[in-house]
Structure 1
Amino acid sequence: MDWLITTLKQYPELAVFLTLSLGYFIGKFKIGSFSLGTVTSVLLVGVLVGQLDIVIAPAVKSVFFLMFLFAVGYSVGPQFFGGLKKDGLPQMFFAAIVCVLCLVCPYFIGKIMGYDMGLTAGMLAGSQTISAVIGVASDTINQLDIPAAEKAALINKIPVAYAVTYIFGTAGSAWILASIGPKLLGGNLVEKAKELEIQLGGDSIGDDPSMASAYDRVIYNAYQISAQSFGCNKTVAAIEAELESKGRHLFIERIRKGKDIFEAEKDTIVEENDVIALGGRREFMMNYVAVNEKEVLDVELLNFPVEVLTVMIVKKEVLNKTIGELRGSKIAHGVVIRSLKRAGIDMPVLPNTTFNKGDLIELVGTKKDVDRAALHIGYADRATNATDMAFVGLGIVLGGLFGALTLKISGVPISLSTSGGALISGLIFGWLRGQHPTFGRIPEPALWVMNNVGLNIFIAVVGITAGPSFIVGFQEAGWGLFIAGAAATTLPLILALLLGRYVFKFHPVITLGCAAGARTTTAALGALQDAVKSKTPALGYTVTYAVGNTLLIIWGVVVILMMS
């Protein structure tokens, strides 16, 4: 054991990876639906490892924290600036007001409880579940004109308060929104979610079942045409039009004539004994009843490649159109939309769901049809392992330089700090990527590493560094801090729900999504979708999440300036 402790002190990088390993392992465990989560687990393990008095260079956490903040901004940039348009402005205003409440409530509670700026900033971070405040507030404290020992004491209190208040901040938020929220918004939100789906075209299951689910598979069957078949001696275009008129959105992809197989063209005539490869969503195929057509097993006819391609919505001819409008257009012939993601969130795939710039849709069909559709829709986001590091590096540098600029007001230095600058830069660079998707690519796995691992390495170093003073700080704060944090979590959420209902007059389900997004609680979004048995809360989540993820992090600077 002595050898292990000595080695960890000599090689502190090993202590960081030990903390990560144990933290990620513990973070997976759940008691019912509750879990500490990775960030809190890594912090607590870091505190435990920190009892060994291990010294880690401060630059280590700064590097990974800047990487994390840039990734956050990059992820939500398109939605943040897209929300500035007319349709998104009410949700942006709502999110901004809620974020102000998330700042003001912890501030006044901290004042009432007599907390210093370290405990108040930590309570803000934990009660609002915004881990990045730890780093931003620490950077701001380091800029204050106070003794170095006082700075260290204040900074070490931040993770203490964060750890104590985060538990209710996470579990409490999900419980309030999923359990209390429906009661405050009029109750019976399952029915209201169904009503919203009807408004979005979800009632057209009989007429347009391809929009019923984002996860239904596309299948192809082979049918032999008889002389009595409705499609005998008709063109491919005429057959597909007749199927469409009966609510069956199916496509003929290939035709066998004797021993020869041909790609189906619009003017190709289907004759007796021809075998056609008919494809579409599974529910369409299930609704199709072959009367004078015989289903056959023709492996050679059905053995053709089908492409699944992710496309970023960019082209003006598609923006603000609905999924139903796209499906009915010529450019989507032979193509099915399997899923729609906005800022990494799965959106409901319904006929009246509109496309926003930067949305990612998954197209399924033959390569010819998918490539043609992608050309008219936007940018084909084909899988790659390469990250545009020139783009990432430049973004972090420019953001850091901007954040390093300091303005003194009444002798108080005010700046975004390099961390705040990296966040703003990420927003701008993420927006640029959405406008011009030919550069600035960060593959999803790489973005996960920057976002998740970047934050947790930062948190691990914070925990290890604060370890020696953590227990003393916890004893000083007492259980009153937990109660204070619970109040700081609850008040903004309750006020947000009432604000959405009586002031903004959002649909109740949208109000729940907006409240979860403004508070950046993805766990609560999942709980909401389970509670209302619908994905529609996601419609209020993405724009408000972009605003909340930006403002709540910047509050780490503001709360320190307010407390000082």
Structure 2
Amino acid sequence: MIGELLRSQPEIALFACLAIGYFIGSFHIGPIQLGGVCGTLIVALVLGQSGARIAPDLKNIAFALFIFALGFTGGPQFFANIGRGWRYGLLSLIEIVSVLVLIMIAVSVLRLDVGTASGLLAGAATESAVIGTASEAIAKLGLGDAATQRLQANIVTAYSVSYLFGLVTIVLFTSQFAPLLLRVNLREEAERVWRKLGGEGAFSEGQSAAAPALVGRAFRIGKAAGITVRALEEQYGYNLTVEQIERPGADLPVAMETRLAAGDLVLVAGRRAAVVAASAGLGEEVLGADFGQLFAQRLNVVLTRPDVDGMTVAQLRAQAKPENARGVYIAAITRLESTIPALPGTDLHRGDVLTLVGAKADVERGAKRLGYVLPPTEKTDFVYLGLGVLVGMAIGRLGGTIGGVTLALGTGGGCLLSGLLFGWVRSRHPLVGSLPSAAAQILKDFGLATFIAAVGLSAGPDAIKLVREYGLALPLAGILMVLVPGLLSLWVGHALLKLEAPMLLGAIAGQQCSTPAISALVGVAGNSTPVIGYTITYALSNILLPLMGPVVVGLAGKLG
């Protein structure tokens, strides 16, 4: 009865896969979480035994939207990190080369078909997008319908088997085993790096509310009587700002040459360490001053200035004229949807979203000098989106033969490259192509989950056959495809590139495109310094690994 219902109304099977799959994927076992995509695939493989099938057109549309949004959101950081972040980028290249070599060894030893080889890459590297690009490449091999469906089914089955083992391995490797191999206490190292970058102490989510990095306090001037605003701010490296002066009977305009007088009530705002250091010399702190909220203006700004690219936060403040920089503070830096610590020693990248805090006039002035305000729009520019997908489909028709290996980008590879280009253009010309981050996230999540559910339903009947054929070989291969690149990157990053341990381990999690790994790593480290390395390799690997789907299909077919 249920099987007949699912066959007659496959939309029920689709949403059942999404609902049950994401429910299963939400559970944690220690630091391990399957996630909604893997949960959806497992449920789809089970429900696929009923014979329910999703129309191929829906599957293709869903994947095209997902892969375009993936490229669109990663485009600015991908291009920004080519060349400049070469030390971290080298780790992504180690990942790509080593997994390709290991896949070819597995093809030779285990006699894997092209579908199983591609699924092994997707699962071990925890990069679901490979399923789509490899599936399209197989569809272009000119095989019969039955053979094509069998090979595409093998992709998702091999993925589902190797993904779990690859996920567990990368989480445990980065957060537990790698620190032991480096002979470091990761929490102590992370705190040392935090302080080296200019942090005031080990940061954790629990501490952030009690000790915010930026504060505003009101003082009744005593010892500081007679000092000018300029002299006071310069004394503390312009890390604090006099925002307002209230003299008995009047509110004084704040000018750089204004002299503070005994009894003045002043609002001093800025970095907590600077305000605390200045408090003893200013006078008595006044609680409950009615103008204390003037500092609490927040504005999200996309950094576009090319001359600022690569500067640290401290260097940016030092090179700016005091009258331009005063009153403007960077409270947070968002890069590839991850928040990295906004410390004085943190490097700024073009395309970063900076959260500016200060008085309204100050943050608006800072926004104009740094880039453009991220508009709080919820509307998507469907002209830009539709044109981008069309261009991607046109690019996907390109292909050729290199060294006897036939390569075809397909819709997935084409839309990925198109998304990169359109996202990069959007970052340079913000008045066109609105695709809000929430809308892009919906396209990525729903597009990928729908695609995965569709291929999982079609693969259901063949899944058990593949598991019986290879047994433990696929899980073991998945573990090796995490450990070998991880160990190589650990040695190269530590011995040759001299990367700090927290950033190196974060970069290894990023080259594996593993969000659970960076989450576990941040928890062990006690602060967010590993995210600095993670964002660079994640930006590169998240684009390069999906492009390897057609490559694996071509090489495995040639070798086989």
TM-score w.r.t. length of structure 2: 0.90
User: What is the aligned counterpart of 1:222 among 208, 215, 218?
Assistant: 218
Q: Tell me what 1:141 maps to.
A: 138
- Return the letter of the residue paired with 1:311: V
- For the 8 Å contact 1:261–1:301, the answer to whether it is kept is no
Q: Tell me what 1:321 maps to.
A: 311
**Structure 2 residue 513 is the aligned partner of structure 1 residue 520:** yes
Q: Displacement, 1:193?
A: 3.9
- Return the letter of the residue paired with 1:43: L
Aligned to 1:541, the other structure's residue is in SS state helix
Q: Deviations over 1:156-203 (max 9, x none)?
A: 11111111111111111111122222233343444444554454344x
More displaced stretch, 381-390 vs 178-187: 178-187
Q: Deviations over 1:46-98 (max 9, x none)?
A: 1222222112111111111111111221222222222233x322332332132
User: What is the aligned counterpart of 1:27 among 25, 45, 68?
Assistant: 25
**Structure 2 residue 54 is the aligned partner of structure 1 residue 56:** yes
Q: Displacement, 1:287?
A: 4.2
Q: Distance in 1 between matches of 2:145 and 2:232?
A: 79
Compared with structure 1, are the counterparts of its residues 536 and 384 closer, same or farther at alpha carbon in structure 2 (3 Å cutoff)? Answer: same
Aligned to 2:242, the other structure's residue is in SS state strand
Q: Distance in 2 between matches of 1:271 and 1:200?
A: 36
Q: Tell me what 2:356 maps to.
A: 363
Within 5 Å, give how 1:4-15 maps onto structure 2: 5-15=3-13
- Return the letter of the residue paired with 2:298: V
- Return the letter of the residue paired with 1:9: R
Q: Deviations over 1:244-274 (max 9, x none)?
A: 16xx833221222334435523233433433
Compared with structure 1, are the counterparts of its residues 32 and 542 closer, same or farther at alpha carbon in structure 2 (3 Å cutoff)? Answer: closer
Within 5 Å, give how 1:244-259 maps onto structure 2: 244=236, 249-259=239-249
Q: Distance in 1 between matches of 2:60 and 2:257?
A: 64
Within 5 Å, give how 1:285-434 maps onto structure 2: 285-290=275-280, 293-297=283-287, 299-304=289-294, 306-328=296-318, 329=320, 330=322, 331-408=324-401, 413-434=406-427
- For the 8 Å contact 2:216–2:295, the answer to whether it is kept is no
Compared with structure 1, are the counterparts of its residues 483 and 463 closer, same or farther at alpha carbon in structure 2 (3 Å cutoff)? Answer: same
Q: Distance in 2 between matches of 1:523 and 1:517?
A: 10
Q: Tell me what 2:429 maps to.
A: 436
Compared with structure 1, are the counterparts of its residues 508 and 34 closer, same or farther at alpha carbon in structure 2 (3 Å cutoff)? Answer: closer
- Return the letter of the residue paired with 1:120: A
- The number of equivalent residue pairs is 549
Q: Displacement, 1:389?
A: 2.4
Q: Displacement, 1:533?
A: 3.6
**Structure 2 residue 453 is the aligned partner of structure 1 residue 460:** yes
- For the 8 Å contact 2:3–2:51, the answer to whether it is kept is no
**Structure 2 residue 123 is the aligned partner of structure 1 residue 123:** no
- For the 8 Å contact 2:21–2:39, the answer to whether it is kept is yes
More displaced stretch, 167-176 vs 463-472: 463-472
Q: Distance in 1 between matches of 2:187 and 2:93?
A: 28
Q: Displacement, 1:303?
A: 4.9
Q: Distance in 1 between matches of 2:118 and 2:183?
A: 35
Aligned to 2:243, the other structure's residue is in SS state strand
Q: Distance in 1 between matches of 2:469 and 2:38?
A: 20
- Return the letter of the residue paired with 2:20: L
- Return the letter of the residue paired with 1:133: V
> How well do the aligned residues superpose, as a CA RMSD in angstroms?
2.7
Aligned to 2:372, the other structure's residue is in SS state strand
Q: Distance in 1 between matches of 2:504 and 2:267?
A: 46
Q: Distance in 1 between matches of 2:382 and 2:489?
A: 39
Q: Distance in 1 between matches of 2:72 and 2:126?
A: 20
More displaced stretch, 468-477 vs 392-401: 468-477
Q: Tell me what 1:111 maps to.
A: 108
Q: Tell me what 1:81 maps to.
A: 79
- Return the letter of the residue paired with 1:276: V
Q: Deviations over 1:405-440 (max 9, x none)?
A: 232568864211111011111122222222233323
Q: Displacement, 1:456?
A: 0.9
Aligned to 1:277, the other structure's residue is in SS state strand
Runs of 5+ consecutive residues of structure 1 not aligned to the other structure: 207-211
Q: Displacement, 1:369?
A: 0.6
Q: Displacement, 1:526?
A: 2.6
Percent identical = 35
Compared with structure 1, are the counterparts of its residues 405 and 241 closer, same or farther at alpha carbon in structure 2 (3 Å cutoff)? Answer: closer
Aligned to 2:291, the other structure's residue is in SS state helix
- For the 8 Å contact 1:106–1:485, the answer to whether it is kept is no
Q: Deviations over 1:328-352 (max 9, x none)?
A: 4423211221111222222232222
TM-score w.r.t. length of structure 1: 0.90
Q: Tell me what 1:209 maps to.
A: none
Q: Distance in 2 between matches of 1:136 and 1:293?
A: 66
Runs of 5+ consecutive residues of structure 2 not aligned to the other structure: none
